[in-house]
Amino acid sequence: MTGLFAFIRVKGYNKGVRDVIADALKGHDADYLEIHFEESQATNIAYRGERLEEISRARNSGGNVRALVQGSWGFVSFNRLGGLRDKVALALEEARLASRGPFKLFPTESVVETVVPQLEKGSTAMPLAAKKELLDEYNDIILGSPKIQSSRINYRDAGRQSIFANSEGSYIEQAKTDLTLRLTAIAREDNEVQQAGLSLGGNGEFSAVERLHKQAREIARRAAALLSAPQVKGGEYTVILNPILAGVFAHEAFGHLSESDFVYQNESLRQIMALGKRFGGKHLNIIDDPTIPNLRGSYKYDDEGTPATKTYLIREGVLEGRLHSRETAAKMGERATGNARAINYLFPPIVRMSNTFIEPGSASFEAMLGDIEEGVYVKDWYGGMTSLEMFTFSAGEAYMIRRGRLAELLRPVVLTGNVFTTLQNIDAIGSDLEMNQGGGCGKGGQYPLPVSNGSPHIRIRHCVIGGK
């Protein structure tokens, strides 16, 4: 044991956690069985205007058993490790209720390993006073700016230490810290209310949220400027996306389509997403890579114990790969990519992205602007959503482009389109890759999952923008 687990106590057992789990994995007739157990500690700090709305701490522990019998899954989650064998039995009983066609999970090698990232200045270890002092500074800057009515500051750090063990002999302990900060400035004049925000995150280094004073000032200025900004006229435009928004596009519009659990049981979707099919120009490369160090979506093993791997989703415009769990890989005859993830012990792992990005090309921002007669430059990020084929995402900051130059600031805009035509309509990809670590991804009730996404500037022809 590595001492990762500070407060697990197993009532009625005089053994370590590892032995308890190992015992429970023995002597059953499941095709496959896995047990997760985790502890977490979190700190939340939230401001609403000048009021510190919440400062709280939380400690959690819990785990789950997942059993596969004859192609169907049973899943039991719990807070206490006691009576683990009964929980295994319940998961088996559940799995036997269903009767899908049996299958074999994609094979992975069993692993015994402990993964503990070293942080220079870990956020969970920082004193509460230091966190509050820093947030106070940002809040004072925002609230002291002209026309600002209020602010929102949401800070969260959470450390999670997890155990994964399965009936194939794997036993993996991993520690991971997640850190998020969102700053929002709310401006008001008469009945007009406008807001601008900044969303950041990291793998736990406190430095990710330090030295943001200039950005805090900038969002306050922008929220105020939005009060007098016009709304764009709805319709079709040539659009340039900044790296943050283009990253959201890569995640929302294409990334979710690459999650095989959407595809594997749907014959029509499998045809649409056939490997080798052309989705965009030769300049288009989209990648998911949890092995890049120190990003929010980085990890060594996924929640099924599969090693993380870099996956080209699109290479040179052609569909090359997709994201898999052991089940979806087996059922599609492809390789497990290490993308089965769960937000916590209350949920089974499902196919998720990690760090998803568009690879840099060679176009400069000026060249992209140059030949646009009338268009829109969109930046910042309110959010995004997709229903496979259709996507929408919104930009908190947008400017008209007229005759090759940036013109007036616009009210926030919503962009939408069909993924397939939009990918084809990307006609320029910049060289300035940036990763965005704010927010979190939601799917199947599991939100927020730490992910990152990124891109250089990209230009899209014929993009629909909602407006007046």
Partner 1 sequence: MEGLLEVLRSARRKAEQAEVFSVSSRAMPIQFEANELKQVQTKESRSSALRIFREGRIGFATASEGGGLEALVDMAVETSQFGSPANFQFPSSQDYSEVCIVDPEVEGIAMERMVEIGKELIAKIRGHTPDILCDVQVTKGTSSISLINSQGGEGRYDMSFFSLSLEGILVRDTDMLFVGDSESSCRFSDNIDDLADRVIWQLEMAKKKATVSTKLLPIIFTPNGVASALLSPLVLAFNGKSVLEGASPLENKLGEQVFDKKLSLWDDATIAYGVGSYPFDDEGVSSQRLPLVTNGVVANFLYDLQTAALAGTHSTGNGQRVGGGFPSPAISSLILSGGDVSFQAMVEDMKEGLIVEQLIGADQGNLLGGDFGGNVLLGYKVENGEIMGRVKDTMIAGNVYQVLKELLGVGKEARRVGGILQTPPLYCSRVSVATKGS
Nearer to partner 1, 114 or 266 (CB): 266
Q: Which 120-139 positions form the footprint of partner 1 (CB under 8 A)?
A: 128-129, 132
CB atoms under 10 Å from CB of 79, counted, come to: 11
Nearer to partner 1, 254 or 365 (CB): 254
Burial class (CB in 10 A: 0-12, 13-18, 19+), 452: buried
Angle between helices 84-97 and 17-24 (to 10 degrees): 40
DSSP one-letter string for 310-330: -EEEEETTEE---B--HHHHH
- Which range of residues in 91-99, 103-111, 296-304, 310-318 is near partner 1 by CB under 8 A? 91-99
- Chosen residue from 44, 70, 110, 291 binding partner 1 by CB under 8 A: 44
Residue 342 binds partner 1, judged by CB under 8 A: no
CA distances from 333 to 107, 230, 257, 336 (A): 12, 52, 18, 9
Residue 431 Cβ vs partner 1, minimum distance, rounded to whole Å: 29
Nearer to partner 1, 149 or 215 (CB): 149
- Chosen residue from 21, 24, 134, 465 binding partner 1 by CB under 8 A: 465
- Chosen residue from 18, 28, 80, 379 binding partner 1 by CB under 8 A: 80
Q: Which 138-157 positions form the footprint of partner 1 (CB under 8 A)?
A: 149-150
| Cα separation, 309 vs 307, whole angstroms | 6
Q: Which helix (H) or strand (E) holds 454?
A: strand 452-455
Residue 9 binds partner 1, judged by CB under 8 A: yes
| Cα separation, 468 vs 463, whole angstroms | 16
Residue 367 Cβ vs partner 1, minimum distance, rounded to whole Å: 26
Strand 355-358 and strand 390-395: the pairing is unpaired
| Cα separation, 324 vs 351, whole angstroms | 6
What is the total count of residues that contact partner 1 (CB under 8 A)? 86
Residue 228 binds partner 1, judged by CB under 8 A: no
| Cα separation, 185 vs 204, whole angstroms | 25
Residue 187 Cβ vs partner 1, minimum distance, rounded to whole Å: 10
Nearer to partner 1, 370 or 444 (CB): 444
Residue 294 Cβ vs partner 1, minimum distance, rounded to whole Å: 28
Residue 95 binds partner 1, judged by CB under 8 A: yes
Spell out, one character per residue from 360 to 399, where the chain touches partner 1: x when CB under 8 A holds, - when not. ----------------------xxxxxxxxxxxxx-----
Nearer to partner 1, 122 or 466 (CB): 466
Nearer to partner 1, 92 or 295 (CB): 92
CB of 205 closer than 8 Å to CB of 119: yes
- Chosen residue from 307, 420, 427, 448 binding partner 1 by CB under 8 A: 420
Contacts of 393 (CB under 8 A, 6+ apart): 245, 248, 249, 252, 253, 381, 382, 383, 384, 385, 414, 415
Q: Which 14-43 positions form the footprint of partner 1 (CB under 8 A)?
A: 39
Q: Which 231-270 positions form the footprint of partner 1 (CB under 8 A)?
A: 234-236, 265-266, 268-269
- Chosen residue from 98, 125, 367, 406 binding partner 1 by CB under 8 A: 98
Q: How many CA atoms lie within 13 A of 399 on its CB side?
A: 18
Residue 1 binds partner 1, judged by CB under 8 A: no
| Cα separation, 265 vs 257, whole angstroms | 13
Q: Which 437-456 positions form the footprint of partner 1 (CB under 8 A)?
A: none
Q: Which 188-227 positions form the footprint of partner 1 (CB under 8 A)?
A: 188, 191-195
Residue 272 binds partner 1, judged by CB under 8 A: yes
| Cα separation, 88 vs 49, whole angstroms | 49
Residue 277 binds partner 1, judged by CB under 8 A: no
| Cα separation, 202 vs 180, whole angstroms | 7
Hey, which bits of 126-217 come out as E strands?
148-166, 171-189, 192-202
- Rounded to the nearest 5 degrees, what angle is found at the Cα of 163, between the Cα atoms of 24 and 62? 80
Residue 414 binds partner 1, judged by CB under 8 A: yes
- Chosen residue from 19, 56, 362, 403 binding partner 1 by CB under 8 A: 56
Residue 4 binds partner 1, judged by CB under 8 A: no
Residue 411 binds partner 1, judged by CB under 8 A: yes
Strand 355-358 and strand 171-189: the pairing is unpaired
Residue 11 Cβ vs partner 1, minimum distance, rounded to whole Å: 9
Residue 145 Cβ vs partner 1, minimum distance, rounded to whole Å: 15
Residue 62 binds partner 1, judged by CB under 8 A: yes
| Cα separation, 399 vs 120, whole angstroms | 39
